[in-house]
Chain A
Amino acid sequence: GENVEQHPSTLSVQEGDSAVIKCTYSDSASNYFPWYKQELGKGPQLIIDIRSNVGEKKDQRIAVTLNKTAKHFSLHITETQPEDSAVYFCAASYSMNYGGSQGNLIFGKGTKLSVKP
């Protein structure tokens, strides 16, 4: 089955710096790669996702890149702010067409990001 490795487990940056979190996956059939942010006491919040037919996607200060050949994808946060401090999870799944299984998310172990003011 699918396995997702996430690095680093902890990341500390100065406010304004960039942060990069990397994930690798094992199942070449995986075609959907979301990133979640989880703050203390809350459920994971979807912040960005990418599908296997796209190499890069941006949304303001966050971007995700996907390298299908190498089976890895990365989250990039620019101009980090203290409110970016949280645990970030990458995930992978295989999504079938409507009516079939949407594919359960396989999560990485998470990266605790700390942004120091």
Chain B
Amino acid sequence: KAGVTQTPRYLIKTRGQQVTLSCSPISGHRSVSWYQQTPGQGLQFLFEYFSETQRNKGNFPGRFSGRQFSNSRSEMNVSTLELGDSALYLCASSLRTSGGSEQFFGPGTRLTVL
């Protein structure tokens, strides 16, 4: 079974631009969560989508947004990029059975903001 895929793997943007990252979950998984990983803050939760609805949101500004499509693929968007947005953005998918929360991560998208 193919794992979680994320595109693009690497991205360089300049301050003020916006960016869209894509995530395809494991086949059959309906939940997608996004995390930001930086050396200083570690792994931090951005948001979770299930059945095209945002179910949970972390403590990030409104510049960070996301959506999920009917095929469970998800995108996240960051507008008005700041230098501090440089990070590895990770997507995780989950089957989401009752009480189950195993989350499987993709390889991430490395975003560099200049």
Contacts and interface: CB of A to CB of B under 8 A. Distances in A.
Is this pair of chains taken from one and the same complex? yes
A105 B105 CA distance: 12
A104 B56 contact: yes
B84 interface: no
Interface stretch (A58-66, A67-75, A92-100): A92-100
Which applies to chain B's interface (DSSP): helix, strand, loop or mixed? strand
Interface stretch (A11-19, A39-47, A78-86): A39-47
Contact of B104 (A42, A46, A89, A104): A46
Contacts of A95: 99-101
A91 B100 CA distance: 15
Contact of B48 (A42, A104, A106): A104
Most chain B C-beta atoms within 10 Å of own C-beta, residue among A97, A102, A110: A102
B80 to A, nearest CB: 24
B64 interface: no
B48 A101 contact: yes
Interface string A15-57: 0000000000000000010101000011111100101000000
A71 to B, nearest CB: 18
B17 to A, nearest CB: 25
Given A46-B102, A104-B33, 4 more contacts: A32-B101, A45-B105, A98-B99, A107-B44
B96 interface: yes
A8 interface: no
B43 interface: yes
Contacts of B48: 101-102, 104
B55 interface: yes
Contacts of B97: 98
Given A42-B107, A43-B107, A44-B105, A104 B45 contact: yes
- 10 interchain residue pairs of minimum CB distance: A43-B105, A104-B45, A98-B98, A107-B43, A95-B101, A101-B56, A44-B105, A102-B101, A43-B107, A101-B55
